[in-house]
Structure 1
Amino acid sequence: MKKRNNNVGPQVRNRGRTTGQGATKALLAALMLFFFAAGFVGATQTFAHLMAYQATLGPNWNHVYAPWRIVQWFTHWQKVPSLAPYFTKSMGVGMLIAGGGILVTAIVKIAKSKKGKGNEFLHGSARWADINDIRAASLIENDGVYVGAFEEKNGKVTYLRHAGPEHVLTYAPTRSGKGVGLVIPTLLSWMHSAVIADLKGELWALTAGWRKNHAGQIVMRFEPASSRGSVRWNPLDEIRIGTDNEVADVQNLATLIVDPDGKGLESHWQKTSQALFVGVILHAIYKAKNGGPAATMSAVDGLLTDPARPIKGLWEEMMSYGHLPGGKNHTVVGRAARDMMDRPEEEAGSVLSTAKSYIELYRDPVVAANTSTSDFSIRDLMNHDTPVSLYIITQPTDKDRLRPLVRIMLNMMVRILAPKQEFENGRAKASYKHRMLFMIDEFPSLGKLEIIQGSLAFAAGYGLKFYLICQDINQLRSRETGYGHDELITSNCHVQNAYPPNRLETAEHLSKMTGQTTILKEQVTTSKNAGGGLFSGSTSKTIQETQRALLTADECLRMPGPRKNASGDIEEAGDMLLYITGYPMVYGKQPLYFKDPTFLARAQVAAPDKSDIIRKAKPGSVTARNDDDDEAAAPIRVKL
Structure 2
Amino acid sequence: MFKKPTTVNRMSQPEDFKNAFVVGTANVQSDGKLKWKIVAIFPNAGSLRQHGNILVVAGPGGGKGRIITVNLISWGHSAIVIDLKGETYTKTANARYKVDNGKGKVVVLDSKNGTGHRYNPLSVVSRDQWFDLAAELISVTNGDPFWSSVANDLWLAAWSAAQHARRPHMPYAVELMKLDLSDAICYFMYYHKDDPATMQHLLDFLGTRPNEEQMAKIKGGNASRLLESMWKTVKTTMTIFNDTILLNLMSGHDVDVEGMFYNGGITTIYVIVDETKPRVFAAFGRLIMKTLGDALIREGDKQNVVRRPILMLFDEFGRVRLNDVFDWLDTLRSRDIVLCIFLQKLSQFAPKNGKEFDESDENSFHHWILFAPNNPSGRIGKLISGMSGQTTVRADGGVGRSVNMDGDITTSRNVSFARRAVVEQEDYETWGADQAYVTLRQLRTEKYVVTSANTDNLGWALPPEAQPLPRLSSYVSPLMPLPSEIDAATWTAAQQIVEEAGGDDAVSNAMRAALGGLGMAVTV
Q: Structure 1-normalised TM-score? A: 0.54
- Number of the residue aligned with 1:365: 244
Deviation at 1:475, TM superposition (A): 2.7
Q: Does 1:178 pair with 2:64?
A: yes
Once the two structures are superposed, what CA deviation does each residue of 1:126-172 show, in whole Å capped at 9, x if it has no partner? xx98xxx52x32x236547x5899xxxx9785856331321111111
Distance of aligned partners of 1:147 and 1:387 in 2 relative to their CA distance in 1, 3 Å threshold: same
Compute the displacement of 1:559 (Å). 5.3
Match of residue 110 from structure 2: 223
Alignment of 1:121-160 (within 5 A): 134=14, 136-137=15-16, 139-140=17-18, 142-143=20-21, 146=23, 157=36, 159=38
Report what 2:157 is aligned to. Answer: 279
Provide the residue aligned with 1:484 in structure 2. Answer: 356
Amino acid in structure 1 at the alignment position of 2:335? Y
> 1:195 maps to what in 2?
80
The 2-side partners of 1:610 and 1:334 are apart by: 47
Match of 1:253 in 2: 133
Q: In structure 1, how many angstroms separate the alpha carbons of the residues matched to 2:225 and 2:305?
A: 50
Q: Distance in 1 between matches of 2:125 and 2:388?
A: 46
Q: Which amino acid aligns with 2:162?
A: A
The alpha carbon displacement at 1:506 in A equals 1.1
Give the conservation status (yes or no) of the 8 Å contact 2:57–2:371.
yes
SS in 1 for 2:386: helix
Selected match of 1:336 from 187, 202, 205: 205
Match of 2:487 in 1: none
2 CA distance for matches of 1:345 and 1:554?
68
Within a 5 Å distance, the mapping from 1:524-539 to structure 2 comes to: none
**Distance (Å, rounded) in 1 between the aligned partners of 2:299 and 2:249:** 31
Q: Quote the Cα distance in structure 2 between the aligned partners of 1:392 and 1:488.
A: 31
User: Aligned-pair distance for 1:189?
Assistant: 0.2
1:304 to 166, 177, 197: 177
Residue type at the aligned position of 1:335: D
Query: Structure 2 CA distance, aligned partners of 1:477 and 1:405?
Result: 17
Displacement of 1:422 in angstroms is: 5.5
> Shift of residue 396 of structure 1?
2.4
Cα distance per residue 1:577-629 (max 9 Å; x no partner): xxxxxxx9999xx99999x744337942322534489xxxxxxx99xxxxxxx
Q: Distance in 2 between matches of 1:266 and 1:604?
A: 53
Distance 1:199-1:236 versus aligned 2 partners, 3 A rule:
same
SS of aligned partner of 1:379? helix
Q: Who is 1:609 aligned against?
A: 467
**For the residues of structure 1 that align with 2:138 and 2:77, how far apart are their CA atoms?**
34
Query: What are the within-5 Å matches in structure 2 for residues 212-611 of structure 1?
Result: 212-215=97-100, 216=102, 217-227=104-114, 229-240=115-126, 246=127, 248-259=128-139, 267-286=145-164, 288-289=165-166, 294-307=167-180, 309-314=182-187, 316=189, 321-323=193-195, 330-339=199-208, 344-419=223-298, 429=303, 431=305, 433-447=307-321, 449-476=322-349, 484-485=356-357, 489-501=361-373, 504-515=378-389, 552-553=411-412, 560-562=418-420, 597=444, 598-600=447-449, 603-607=458-462, 608-611=466-469
Deviations, residues 516-550 of structure 1 (Å, cap 9, x unaligned): 69xxxxxxxxxxxxxxxxxxxxxxxxxxxxxxxx9
The structural deviation recorded for 1:334 is 3.5
Q: Which secondary structure does the structure 2 equivalent of 1:408 belong to?
A: helix
Name the amino acid aligned to 1:434: R
Task: Decide whether aligned partners of structure 1 residues 431 and 352 sit closer, same or farther in structure 2, where only a CA change above 3 A counts.
Answer: farther
Greater relative CO (CA pairs within 8 A, separation 6+): 2
Q: Which amino acid aligns with 2:129?
A: D
Deviations 1:84-106, CA, capped at 9 Å, x for gaps: xxxxxxxxxxxxxxxxxxxxxxx
Write out per-residue CA displacement over residues 19-74 of structure 1, whole angstroms, 9 at most, x where no aligned residue.
xxxxxxxxxxxxxxxxxxxxxxxxxxxxxxxxxxxxxxxxxxxxxxxxxxxxxxxx
Change (3 A) 1:555 1:341: closer
* Closer, same or farther: CA 432–347 of 1 in aligned 2, 3 Å: farther
For 2:84 and 2:365, locate their aligned partners in 1 and report how far apart those are by CA, in whole Å.
23
User: Greater CA deviation, 218-227 or 263-272?
Assistant: 263-272
Preserved CA contact (<8 Å) 1:438 1:467: yes
Structure 1 residues 174 and 353, CA, compared in 2 at 3 Å: closer, same or farther? farther
Deviation at 1:555, TM superposition (A): 9.1
Task: Tell me the residue number matched to 1:539.
Answer: none
CA displacement at 1:239 relative to structure 2: 4.6
CA distance in structure 2 between the partners assigned to 1:436 and 1:345 by the alignment: 54
Q: Give 1:119's aligned residue.
A: none
User: 1:250-308, CA deviations, whole angstroms, 9 ceiling, x for partnerless residues?
Assistant: 21221122149xx998633222211221222212221x14xxxx233122122122259
Q: C-alpha offsets along residues 357-392 of structure 1, whole Å, 9 cap, x if unaligned?
A: 222233322222111111124333324321110000
Deviation at 1:173, TM superposition (A): 1.1
Is contact 2:108–2:271 with CA below 8 Å preserved after alignment?
Answer: yes
- Give the Cα separation in 1 of the matches to 2:25 and 2:413: 22
Report the Cα distance in structure 1 between the residues aligned to 2:350 and 2:185, rounded to whole angstroms: 45
Q: 8 Å contact 2:323–2:350 — kept in the other structure?
A: no
In structure 2, the CA distance between the partners of 1:194 and 1:420, relative to structure 1 (3 Å rule), is closer
- Deviation of residue 430 (structure 1)? 6.2
In structure 2, relative to structure 1, the CA distance for the partners of 1:422 and 1:414 (3 Å cut) is closer
Larger-Rg structure: 1
Is the CA contact 1:167–1:466 (under 8 Å) kept in the aligned structure 2?
A: yes
Contact 1:437 1:467 in 2 (8 A): yes
- CA shift, 1:323, in A, is 1.2
Classify 1:333/1:222 alpha carbon distance in 2 versus 1 (closer, same or farther; 3 Å).
same
Matching residue's letter, 1:176: G
Note the C-alpha offset of 1:404: 0.4
Deviation at 1:339, TM superposition (A): 3.5
2:520 aligns with none
Over the residues paired in the alignment, what is the CA RMSD in angstroms? 4.7
Q: How far apart, CA to CA, are the structure 2 residues paired with 1:463 and 1:478?
A: 24
**% of aligned pairs identical?**
17
Judged with a 3 Å threshold, the aligned counterparts in structure 2 of structure 1 residues 417 and 488 are, in CA distance, closer, same or farther, namely farther
Q: Could you tell me how far 1:414 is from its partner in structure 2? A: 1.5
AA matched with 2:151: S
Find the counterpart in structure 2 of residue 27 from structure 1: none
Q: Distance in 1 between matches of 2:373 and 2:259?
A: 39
Distance in 1 (alpha carbons) for counterparts of 2:146 and 2:117: 36
The separation in 2 between residues aligned to 1:214 and 1:516, in whole angstroms, is 40
Residue 330 of structure 1, CA deviation: 4.9
Letter in 1 for 2:208: D
Shift of 1:461: 1.3
Distance 1:225 1:340 in 2: 40
- Which sections of structure 2, spanning at least 5 residues, go unmatched? 27-32, 216-222, 392-408, 424-429, 472-477, 480-524
Assess, with a 3 A threshold, how the Cα gap between structure 1 residues 369 and 422 changes in structure 2: closer, same or farther.
Answer: closer
